[in-house]
Structures are given as structure tokens and as C-alpha cells.
Structure 1
């Protein structure tokens, strides 16, 4: 693992056992992404309460969801360039404080379509930091042999759990306390931010790339106490470099161009489908004859099954069952077909089963795509890579609720919801699956120098 007192940071992290510090950091990231998931999905439960008082057309109702995603887009695209220069920890903390303040402001001051959407946009700037940096943290801390599973437990479980909590608050508290209670509950992220200040270290790979050796030694002793004697006077060698001046150009360099463009296209389509689902399924199911409570419960159901689907897919990927792009394609094809079947059948049991399947396959696969993206780039621009994937994807997420609302307005029915979501998922499957046609070449082209 190096010669003399020089050690390779990537080999050291790869050889680490999963320590209590790994687990503690996993729990912290889980809590961070839980509030991200909660805040991302709760606008879907606002629509039912405000569309009549605020006199909203379906396309405007969809924009209640999309407005936060527009802010997320700018936050996700911009944060990577900041995090690759000043550090993951500082950037994450700034994002958390933005979410804290604006979530509370939404509960108190959002009393119209314009004020709600404006505050959601500003909140999205902070939300755009949390999920990408959570994914980056996990992939720079967890041993690569368990990175998919660790990411699913450390990032996806929290995000999915947040979506479930949004559904539960929507079902049980909003009828009595109004939609504002969603955001008063969300302000519980403030104590979490204080905890993050106290316990979250900087990423070891970032410290190595920036030459911050004393901080790195102290952190590596905690991550690999069995090697503490080696680290006392060690220098650290990392094949990665500090962030390039133009991280977007690095993502589009010949080595990464095909993978980057494929990932961005896929993320655009899948997040169009996902946010179309979570934004409209509660309202559409109520229109199909479901009760108010069961209609809202479908949102929570999708988040619960998405974690199970993502964990299943991550396990298959970690065990080398098939190339990750091929597995992702299979998940989205099955999910797309399932959503399409709602065009032909409407019954409570059938609706329940299909929504569960949609969460398992359509949303579950997205979590593994995020991890695949993080593993596709080197440390110097990894945060930018994940940020670009989620940023471009959020363009699809922005358009999903809005376009589907507009199409309902034009056609006068809900059937178009299922056509649009099913089609986007199936096309995404074909796009990402194209990477597995030459899987060996793809693996060589995307493997970072670690």
C-alpha cells in the first residue's frame, strides 16, 4: 500500500473495514437526505388544498412542484464547482442552512401562488446541494466493494424515508392543521444542522487532493485505526488532482464524453417520469375514485418501495450480476410497462400494486444511477459530475409536473399522465442500456484513476 511512509489514499480507503465512523457518517447522511426527500415531495400534498382557493389551472398546480425543482437545478449545477474547490463539508452546511430558513419562511409567509413558488425556488437552491453531496460523501468514504449498498442505506434510505414522512404528514396532519404543517415539521432540520456542524468531517479524498495532510492523517486514523502507526508520519499519494479550472469541460473530455452525455440524457428522462409520478399520482388517483387518504398514501407507498427496489438493484450491481447500465435499463423497462398498464385497468388493488411497482423500479433505479455517476469520475470533479447529472435531470423533473399538468389541461383527462411517464421511463432504459453494448470498453473509460 505504498513505499516507505508514502501511502495511496485510494488503496487505504478501499482496504478499510466498515468502522463505527463509517456507520455514524452513514446515519448523518441518511438524516440529511431524509429532509431532502421530505422537502422535495411535500408540494404534491399542497396541490389538493390550494388549487381552488388560489384559482389554479392544472399547469399552474404542476408548477407548485416544479418551482422548487428549478431552484434545485441551479443549486445542483452550481454546488459542484464550489464543493470541488472549497470542500464538501462547507458547501453542504450552507445548503442545509438555506433549506432551514426557507422552509420555515414557506410555512409563515407563503399565502399565494406567487409567494409559494418564489419561496420554493429559493429553498430548491439549498436542496440542490444535499442529495448530490450526500452521494459524493458516501462514495469518497465507503470502501468501493460496498459502495452501492452503502450509498443505498446512507443516501437512498433517507431520501425515501423523507418521502414516506411527507405522505404521512399529508394524510394525518394536513386535514386538521392545513398544508402549512408540512413546512413547520420540515423545520425540524435545524437541530440536524447543528449536529452536522459538530460531527461531519471533510472528505478524505478531497483533503488528499488539496494537500491538507494533517487533517487527512487525523481522519484516516479514525477510518482505519489498524493503520494508525503508519499514518503518524505518512505522506499520502493520490492519482487524483485538484479540481480543474473548467469542470464541465473535464466532464466532456474524450475520456468521459460518451458516459456523461448518456447519463445526462437518462437522468432527464427518468426525473421527468419520477416527478411526474410523485407530483400527480395523489391527485390523479383521487380523480380515479380513490379516497382522499388513500390517494395521498400512494405517494408514501412509492417512496417505501423505491428503497427496496434500489437496494435490490444495488445488491445485484455490487455482486456483478450484470453491467450496471444493463440492470438500470431492465428496471426502467419493467417500471414503464407497469405504469402504462394503468391506461387499461382501474381498480383499487390494481392501482395499489402498480404504484408499488412503479416506486420499486422507476424511482428505485434512480438511486443506483446517482451512485453509478459518482463512480464514473475522479475526485477533482466528482461533485461536479454528480451535480451535473442531477441538475440536468432536474430539468426533466421541472418539466414533468408542469408538462403533464398542461397535457391534462389540453386533453381534459388523466390518461396522458400514464402515457408520458411510461414513455419517458422506457426511452431512458434504451438510452442507459446502450452503455452496456460495449461494457468492457465502458468500464475502462469510466473507471477513475483510483
Structure 2
């Protein structure tokens, strides 16, 4: 019979309770990623008035969490390839939750900025690792769908942040909006009991007993007698460095994915931070402007889910090109002062193809790197991409400070989509280097899937 690896056995598993719980845990964390990041855009008009902030100052303050995410992705995200994904995810979730709650006690922009930076640092370490963990442990046939369902919770969290702001701001204050983040702390005992470790990490460290236990959690009764355990260990013992992200045919693909990430994040955070203020400048009141942000993120949720479904059928590259193209069209059209019905339709489409695309591009990056370096690869994509995220709020603040027509504001946010299309098209399939042969093994395993389960 054909020899297999632990990864191929895990990838060939049918959907089980283990995968549903894993999806629930990672989705919960992603929900609060969306809430904690987008809540700033919801309270921004109030903060600008209370602290007398100029638009460019507010833009830089909005980038504090994103600078933190870049730092966290570099230092904490890559750390997981050395100490494991589980401790980084769990401890990072604890710390970003505490930092988010403390933000509600801020008495001025300086304290606010420091705590937003701290929130971003721990989010930046957590998010690439839950993406990598989901990509590694999900069944091969459901990998893209499960990853994008998880990532779509970012948009659900964004919607929640806006709805909470609409409800709480008139009754209490912007401080209370941040206190809601403390709900995430209540789920930590469940996360600590259920969050698994990376299979690749366990096998690379020679922890065969723990790896077997993990596989049986996902695939009870699996026959592991023909599994080869040494290959994963030998691959894992090699140091994963940033330079390795450019080896084996990835010299062009890695920087192109970085550019696509950055352009996507520029549009995402630029719109989520400044859309309410742009709409207020266009003549709408605060309430309706916040509702437009809800519409944008409803579209984002639908786009993320649709993108995962389409990615499993047509490939993430084609989906990304199509979504970025539609993002450009919808954003340019938004600047033409459309009628109310068309305005909301365009906001739905813009949300689906900007924020929604973020879920697809994470899967695209995770597929590009082998498991041994996946956390480092996705972490660096996220880190470099944060340069675009940082630029988004700053760009929006400067555009509003210049008092440009609304048409030019939306065109400025549409332009990065064109660059992202070019970058995605230039990402070439990397060469196989021994750690990337899992797909053939999964195909062979699928043929004997029924007999293996018995």
C-alpha cells in the first residue's frame, strides 16, 4: 500500500465535530478582530469632535492599531513556527482583548494611540496563525470554504462594531463601545480547552504521540500504520527564515502577494475608517453614514463567503482578479453621486469585493507556501500588507483635509485595485521542493478514504 504522511491523512479526513469546533474557535477570534479594528471608524466622528482632531491627525491615530499589527505579524506571527501556533493564538487573544477594553479608559489621543497600538500587536500575531492553522487542519476538499467562512467573521465583527456604536453612542459614550470587547475574555476557557496545536509543528518536533492524538481527534479510527513520520520532522528542523520565502520559484510570487495584500488592505481600512466621514462631507448625517458602513460590511460578509465557494471551484487567482476589477468599478461609481437604491447596491458590491476579498487573498497566500513555512509566509504577507492598511486611514485623512470632490475621494481608493490585479497575475506557481507534494498524496488518499475509515 502507498505510504502517506501525517499531513495527507489529516487533509483527507471527512468533515467532523473536530473541524466544526476548530472553525467556531477561529471564527470567534476573527469576529473580535473585525470588531476591535473597525470600532475606530464607528467612533471617529465623535472622537474628532471631543478631542478637536484634524483629519490628518485622526488618520494617523487610526493607523496606530495597524502599525501594531504589522509589528505583531513580524515578531509574534513568525514566532509560532518556533514555539507552536497554539500558545501564540491563545496568549495573543488574551492580551488583545485586555488592551481593547483598556482603550475605553483613554483620556486623550496619546493614551488612546498607545493602547490601539498594543491591541494591534497581539492581533497581528494571532490572525496569521489562525489562518495557517485552519488551512493546515481543514479537510482538503473544504479548506478554502472553511478558511473564508472564518475570515468572513471579520466583516460580521465590523457590522457588530457599527451597530453597537449606533445603539450605545446616543445612550452612553464612545468609551462603552470599547468595553464591549471584553466579551471575548469570557470565551477564553473554552478556547484553551479546544484549540489544537499545529500538526506540522508536532511532527517537526518529533512529538509523534501528540500528533497521533490530534489526527484521531479529527479522524477517529484512522489507520496510521503506513504513515511516514520522519519526513515532516526533517523538514521542520530546517530553519524557516524570511529568505526562504523567496526560494523554490517564489522570488517573484512573494513580493507580488505582498503588493496585492497591501493594496487590498489599503482599500479595506481606508473605507472602513473614513466612509462615515466621507458620507457626512457629502451631506448625510452621522446616523445614516454609520448605516452605510453596515451596508458595506454586509456586502463584505457575502463577498467573503462567495469568494470561498468560488475559490474552491475556479481557483483563488481568478476570483481575486474578478473581485479586484469589480471593486474598482464600484468605487468609481460611488463617487458619481448615485441615487439611494443604486448607492446601497454599490456599497454592497464594494464591500464584497474589497473587505470580502481579504478572505480570499489570505487563502491564496496560505496555498502558496508549504506547511513548514506557512505561518512565516502568511505572517510576512500580513505584515508587509499592513503598510497598505496604515496608508488607508492616512490617505483618507489627507484627502478630506484637501477638501476634494467626492468623486476624487472614491477614485483614490479605487486605484489600488488596478495594481492588485497586476500583482496577482504575476504570482507564479512555486516549484515543488519536497514539502509541497501533499496534494498528490491527498488525491491518492481520497481513493482509499472509505477503507481507511474502517
In the superposition, the TM-score normalised over structure 1's length comes to 0.92
Q: Deviations over 1:92-124 (max 9, x none)?
A: 11211211221121112x111111111100111
Instruction: Please give the alpha-carbon distance, in whole angstroms, between the structure 2 residues aligned to 1:292 and 1:448.
Output: 51
Q: Is the 8 A contact 1:408 1:414 kept in 2?
A: no
Q: Deviations over 1:116-167 (max 9, x none)?
A: 11110011111112221111110111022211101112x2232121111101
Q: Is the 8 A contact 2:62 2:273 kept in 1?
A: yes
The equivalent residue for 1:300 is 294
Instruction: Please give the alpha-carbon distance, in whole angstroms, between the structure 1 residues aligned to 2:293 and 2:72.
Output: 25
The equivalent residue for 1:275 is 269
| Partner SS for 2:402 | helix
Question: Where do 5+ consecutive residues of structure 1 fail to align?
Answer: 436-440
The equivalent residue for 1:132 is 128
Query: Residues 351-366 of structure 1: matches in 2 within 5 Å?
Result: 351-366=343-358
Q: Is the 8 A contact 1:166 1:300 kept in 2?
A: no
Q: Deviations over 1:79-98 (max 9, x none)?
A: 23210000000011121121
Query: Residues 72-221 of structure 1: matches in 2 within 5 Å?
Result: 72-108=69-105, 110-153=106-149, 155-221=150-216
Shift in CA distance, 231/239, structure 1 to aligned 2, threshold 3 Å: closer
Q: Is the 8 A contact 1:274 1:363 kept in 2?
A: yes
More displaced 10-residue stretch of structure 1: 26-35 or 97-106 = 97-106
The equivalent residue for 1:438 is none
Q: Is the 8 A contact 1:273 1:420 kept in 2?
A: no
The equivalent residue for 2:334 is 342
Is 1:449 the equivalent of 2:437?
yes
| Partner SS for 2:354 | helix
Shift of 1:234: 6.3
Q: Is the 8 A contact 1:251 1:385 kept in 2?
A: yes
Q: Deviations over 1:379-418 (max 9, x none)?
A: 2211111111111111100011112211321345544421
The equivalent residue for 1:43 is 40
Instruction: Please give the alpha-carbon distance, in whole angstroms, between the structure 1 residues aligned to 2:2 and 2:25.
Output: 32
Shift in CA distance, 182/189, structure 1 to aligned 2, threshold 3 Å: same
Q: Is the 8 A contact 2:240 2:373 kept in 1?
A: no
Shift of 1:355: 1.1
RMSD of aligned Cα (Å): 2.0
Q: Deviations over 1:261-286 (max 9, x none)?
A: 11001111111111111111111112
Instruction: Please give the alpha-carbon distance, in whole angstroms, between the structure 2 residues aligned to 1:266 and 1:132.
Output: 16
Instruction: Please give the alpha-carbon distance, in whole angstroms, between the structure 2 residues aligned to 1:157 and 1:407.
Output: 29
Shift in CA distance, 414/60, structure 1 to aligned 2, threshold 3 Å: farther
Is 1:263 the equivalent of 2:260?
no
2:394 to 402, 416, 430: 402
Shift in CA distance, 212/123, structure 1 to aligned 2, threshold 3 Å: same
Shift of 1:426: 2.0
Shift in CA distance, 393/277, structure 1 to aligned 2, threshold 3 Å: same
Q: Is the 8 A contact 2:77 2:126 kept in 1?
A: no
Question: Where do 5+ consecutive residues of structure 2 fail to align?
Answer: 439-454
The equivalent residue for 1:8 is 5
Is 1:18 the equivalent of 2:10?
no
Instruction: Please give the alpha-carbon distance, in whole angstroms, between the structure 2 residues aligned to 1:412 and 1:265.
Output: 27
Shift in CA distance, 169/104, structure 1 to aligned 2, threshold 3 Å: same
Shift of 1:25: 0.9
Is 1:29 the equivalent of 2:21?
no
The equivalent residue for 1:248 is 242
How many pairs align? 436
The equivalent residue for 1:370 is 362
Instruction: Please give the alpha-carbon distance, in whole angstroms, between the structure 1 residues aligned to 2:138 and 2:400.
Output: 44
Shift of 1:375: 1.3
More displaced 10-residue stretch of structure 1: 404-413 or 205-214 = 404-413
Shift of 1:364: 1.3
| Partner SS for 1:98 | helix
In the superposition, the TM-score normalised over structure 2's length comes to 0.91
Q: Is the 8 A contact 1:317 1:324 kept in 2?
A: yes
Shift of 1:445: 6.0
Shift of 1:243: 6.0
Instruction: Please give the alpha-carbon distance, in whole angstroms, between the structure 2 residues aligned to 1:299 and 1:89.
Output: 33
Instruction: Please give the alpha-carbon distance, in whole angstroms, between the structure 1 residues aligned to 2:353 and 2:293.
Output: 15
More displaced 10-residue stretch of structure 1: 98-107 or 20-29 = 98-107
The equivalent residue for 2:443 is none
